[in-house]
Amino acid sequence: MPPKPFEVARAVLDADAAATAAARSWRGGGTVLECVADLGDQPAMRILCGAVIAAGIVAGDRRLASAGVRMLAAHTLATLAKDAVKRRVDRTRPRSTAKPGKDHRPAPGGSEAKEETSFPSGHSAGAVAVGRALARDYPALAAPAYGTAALLALVQIPRRAHYPSDVAAGAAIGLAAEAVVDLAFGAATRALDARGRSAEPEPPPILSAHDVVPIVGGFRPI
């Protein structure tokens, strides 16, 4: 018999609490974790996308420039989506749950305080969206793209910025955002191709010997 939804939710929350307790007891690698996490911030991700676009333009590489545009579009959509969720869900970040009256459970709300907007992870959403977009255009880079995205997402747990479920939700948002962008770009490309084909002039008909009859002074097509 499959578990009931509330049982699954309770198991997820228990796992979040356990992860928070483990991260609280771990004191190593603080500076390194923060440096890695900074690479997943919105400015850093947008700079990366812009650099890919610029490199493609300078090199005359349309494929590379297009990949950069897709990466930027996916990151933008993922950011908008996670912001929409954050405005509707309040959740205290793991590093602040020790304060009186705070715990790890999410609840409906509209707080704009940074320490109350743990769900979902924006770093995870943005990193996964960008990584997936790059891997789609450059399958040979899929392993490093996914690996980097996973690192930027998972590092949020030991630094106590997010719970595991925050990271999972952010990753799902990133994947969904990139999929929507891919569908939109595919539809736009097909529409432009169809428009270009319809605008091409039709070639003149090719006449054969059977298509002409002799007239005075020359030949006339029939």
- Dist. CA 85–CA 78, nearest whole Å: 11
Structural domains in the chain (count) = 1
Does residue 14 lie within any of the structural domains? Answer: no
Tell whether the model's pLDDT for residue 55 goes beyond 60: yes
- Give the model confidence (pLDDT) of 63-103 as tens digits: 999 999 999 999 999 999 999 999 999 999 999 998 998 98
pLDDT in the model for residue 197: 73
Identify the three-state secondary structure at position 220: strand
- Give the model confidence (pLDDT) of 164-202 as tens digits: 999 999 999 999 999 999 999 999 988 888 877 776 666
Question: What is the domain range of residue 28?
Answer: 21-97+112-221
Tell whether the model's pLDDT for residue 206 goes beyond 80: no
pTM for the full predicted model:
0.84
pLDDT in the model for residue 21: 86
Interval 15-44 mean pLDDT: 84
- Dist. CA 132–CA 170, nearest whole Å: 13
- Dist. CA 145–CA 142, nearest whole Å: 5
Does residue 2 lie within any of the structural domains? Answer: no
Report yes or no: 86 and 39 within 8 Å, Cβ to Cβ.
no
Tell whether the model's pLDDT for residue 220 goes beyond 80: no
Q: What single DSSP character describes residue 118?
A: -
- Give the model confidence (pLDDT) of 29-38 as tens digits: 678 888 999 9
pLDDT > 70: percent of the chain: 86
Does residue 5 lie within any of the structural domains? Answer: no
Does residue 169 lie within any of the structural domains? Answer: yes
Q: Between these two residues, 217 and 86, which has the higher pLDDT value?
A: 86
Does residue 152 lie within any of the structural domains? Answer: yes
Interval 18-26 mean pLDDT: 82
Interval 1-27 mean pLDDT: 82
Does residue 159 lie within any of the structural domains? Answer: yes
> Across the chain, what does the average pLDDT equal?
89
Does residue 82 lie within any of the structural domains? Answer: yes
Residue 124 belongs to domain with CATH number: 1.20.144
Q: What single DSSP character describes residue 138?
A: -
Does residue 9 lie within any of the structural domains? Answer: no
- Dist. CA 188–CA 194, nearest whole Å: 10
